Structure 1
Amino acid sequence: MSDDGAISALREIAFWLERQYAPTYRVRAFRRAAAVITDLDDLDQRVEYGTLTDLEGIGRTTASVITQARRGGTPDYLAKLRDAAEVPEHGGALRSALRGDCHTHSDWSDGGSPIAEMATTAHRLGHEWMALTDHSPRLTVARGLSAERLREQLDVVAQLNRELEPFRILTGIEVDILGDGALDQDEELLAELDVVVASVHSDLRMSSGPMTRRMVAAVRNPHVDVLGHCTGRLIGDRKRPQSTFDAREVFTACRDNDVAVEINSRPDRLDPPRELLRLARDLGCTFSIDSDAHAPGQLDWLAHGCARAEECGIPAERVINTRRAADITR
């Protein structure tokens, strides 16, 4: 490996750590080390004399990774993470058919990485495009984007698309569904975006009737493309019960208004449950298999959603992110 190889090894370690839900400080340590050695003139000398740890931001573990990479091998730490990576047994064919991801977050809202880093990682994973869907303003805890900040982001995305071509970042937002079914962003601005994911983030314990009317009203909005994590459930260590609503009525509205039902691939969501996925399938819905990634390593969670889709008999032709960017955009 060259020094670029050492940088790649450090970044790949950060990727696998994120994929495994490692603490943020561990991930940042490897990304910080990669930044420190970028364009470092005396890297080989420091490797030879064992003085890498004299540099601020380089610790014993990251120094070992750099040294092993510079000497032409795969660093032990990286090899261990690769071996430990859990890949679902099913969903491989569908995963390879995905061209993009309709639900991702950057550090403009509650994600942990810049837009460019999310996009370059998506490209390395083999994607042709990625929809950037940071949160809308009401979700203040997630630094949701006001109309003004969203317009600023559109300019940033336009510049990045010139730099990253042919890879494309699609403009978008994960917009909150308000209590009455209205959307938490300026309607004219929503009309300018490529992908609008509409999700419920508040009043999740609303009774079934009002929740059903709320979701159906949002799905009928002509700007909505995807209904995000529809039950709002959390599983695993952080548990939250699913919202109650008339799923048949909501999914029928999705079908009739050409809104995809999201298959959320986050391991702590895996939303909707299988019985609802099968209902949406039987009703003729289309689907969007999304990572809901808040960090580059989480973009690879799509495999979990693909496995669930395959288990539930959902074919690739009914998954919108098997399409090219030109077929997704308005």
Structure 2
Amino acid sequence: MVALLAPLEAPVEPTDALRRIAFLLERTRSGTYRVEAFRNAAKALKQLDDGEVDERVAAGTLQQIPGIGKSTSAVIEEAARGELPAYLESLQDRSGGPLASGGEDLYAALRGDCHLHSDWSDGGSPIDEMVLTGIELGHEWMVLTDHSPQLRVANGLTAERLTKQIAIVDAINRGVGEAFRLFKGIEVDILDDGALDQTDEMLARLDLVTASVHSKLRMNSAPMTKRMVAAVLNPRVNVLGHCTGRLVTGSRGTRPQSDFDAHAVFEACLEGNTAVEINSRPERQDPPDDLIELALEMGCLFAVDSDAHAPGQLDMKAYGCERAERLGVPEDRIITTWDADRVHAWANPDR
């Protein structure tokens, strides 16, 4: 079950201190440059031989290592001395508690996440770091959903790159054992005519597919409705991602929601056994409350997802849980509370 990370206490390994600082900065949406400073310092430490950290701390030469600067070297030095780094302690006090007020019971019932990205597309961290953080948070499963080819601005995966990623996911699953499962997935673009931005052969090799609209968000209602209905009725699609495309806050500004017949789209979700995503990113809050209530009334399934682009953002599901619990969405209709076998069987009824 997913849970808040317990605060770190002294003594703490320097690499663990750096990783936790980056995590806390990510979950509270700090600037990318600052987060990367701590992630890069952690990577640099992993390249050092045993004992070299202590030698460099004693000699005062940590900042000679590429990727380690003034702030990160201070954290490393304090941790190496057996102390809890002051910056880490301060962040844990300020930013280590629940992200949302409400939804705690549902958050504790979560087992997985159907929507997250790695540095294979537009995420900020490698797959193994996303997996390690997910395991630390108590996830039993996650679906790796990097973008599809059309979204070039997000370094979307061609069929060739996706094939390579599938092999890496298989290798990770062999390494982590039976307590956790990383599902092969994709966030596939819904094209203008409702087709999917990946070959059917490749989609058939995946465990779960989240489909989202990323282009021509201001399309007129009738063609947008037809586009979305076609996608959610596709037997390869399991989750409809951030259905309105809106942005309500954040550094990218705001964007109005797309215009479509929500009743028709959710009716198609019911027919296609496609879950409606409750996207937990604060800048999206998608769907809005009234559409969640409509999908709930109609009997749809839901997926409370993080849409994480960095490890710390996996915790953002707390925001989605607050909304789902407040609006009365039953736990058993949220597929991210299901165990891995149930999710896989639901997403792959013919396998």
Could you state the TM-score of these two structures normalised by the residue count of structure 2? 0.90
**Match of residue 275 from structure 1:** 290
**Match of residue 77 from structure 1:** 87
Q: Does 1:114 align with 2:99?
A: no
Separation (CA, whole Å) in 1 of partners of 2:130 and 2:64: 30
Separation (CA, whole Å) in 2 of partners of 1:21 and 1:48: 34
Q: Does 1:307 align with 2:322?
A: yes
> How far 1:95 moved relative to its partner?
0.8
The answer to which of 259-268 and 46-55 deviates more is 46-55
The answer to which of 277-286 and 42-51 deviates more is 42-51
The answer to which of 31-40 and 258-267 deviates more is 31-40
**Match of residue 259 from structure 1:** 274
**Match of residue 41 from structure 1:** 51
> How far 1:84 moved relative to its partner?
2.4
What percentage of residue pairs aligned between the two structures are identical?
A: 58
**Match of residue 92 from structure 1:** 104
Q: Does 1:324 align with 2:336?
A: no
The answer to which of 264-273 and 70-79 deviates more is 70-79
Separation (CA, whole Å) in 2 of partners of 1:35 and 1:257: 44
Could you give the per-residue CA deviations for residues 201-224 of structure 1, whole angstroms, max 9, x where no partner exists? 111111111111111111110111
The answer to which of 146-155 and 262-271 deviates more is 146-155
Kept in 2, the 8 Å contact 1:104–1:132? The answer is: yes
Structure 1: 5+ residue stretches without partners: none
Number of aligned residues: 330
Q: Does 1:230 align with 2:240?
A: no
> How far 1:145 moved relative to its partner?
1.1
Q: Does 1:8 align with 2:23?
A: no
> How far 1:321 moved relative to its partner?
1.0
**Match of residue 191 from structure 2:** 178
Kept in 1, the 8 Å contact 2:14–2:76? The answer is: yes
Where do residues 57-76 of structure 1 align in structure 2 (5 Å cutoff)? Answer: 57-76=67-86
Q: Which amino acid aligns with 2:173?
A: N
Q: Which amino acid aligns with 1:207?
A: N
SS at match of 2:102: coil
Separation (CA, whole Å) in 1 of partners of 2:316 and 2:127: 18
Q: Which amino acid aligns with 2:79?
A: A
**Match of residue 165 from structure 2:** 153
> How far 1:32 moved relative to its partner?
2.1
Kept in 2, the 8 Å contact 1:251–1:285? The answer is: yes
Separation (CA, whole Å) in 2 of partners of 1:227 and 1:261: 5
Kept in 2, the 8 Å contact 1:2–1:70? The answer is: no
> How far 1:30 moved relative to its partner?
1.1
Could you give the per-residue CA deviations for residues 131-175 of structure 1, whole angstroms, max 9, x where no partner exists? 001111111111111112111111111111111222211001111
Separation (CA, whole Å) in 1 of partners of 2:240 and 2:55: 54
SS at match of 1:263: strand
Separation (CA, whole Å) in 1 of partners of 2:199 and 2:45: 44
Structure 2: 5+ residue stretches without partners: 1-8
Q: Which amino acid aligns with 2:324?
A: A
Q: Does 1:201 align with 2:214?
A: yes
SS at match of 1:217: helix
Q: Which amino acid aligns with 2:298?
A: L
The answer to which of 46-55 and 83-92 deviates more is 46-55
Kept in 2, the 8 Å contact 1:95–1:306? The answer is: yes
Separation (CA, whole Å) in 2 of partners of 1:112 and 1:233: 23
> How far 1:14 moved relative to its partner?
0.8
SS at match of 1:174: strand
Kept in 2, the 8 Å contact 1:108–1:114? The answer is: yes
**Match of residue 30 from structure 2:** 22
Kept in 1, the 8 Å contact 2:11–2:82? The answer is: no
Could you give the per-residue CA deviations for residues 175-195 of structure 1, whole angstroms, max 9, x where no partner exists? 111111111111122122111
> How far 1:52 moved relative to its partner?
2.9
> How far 1:6 moved relative to its partner?
1.5
Could you state the TM-score of these two structures normalised by the residue count of structure 1? 0.95
Superposition CA RMSD, Å? 1.7
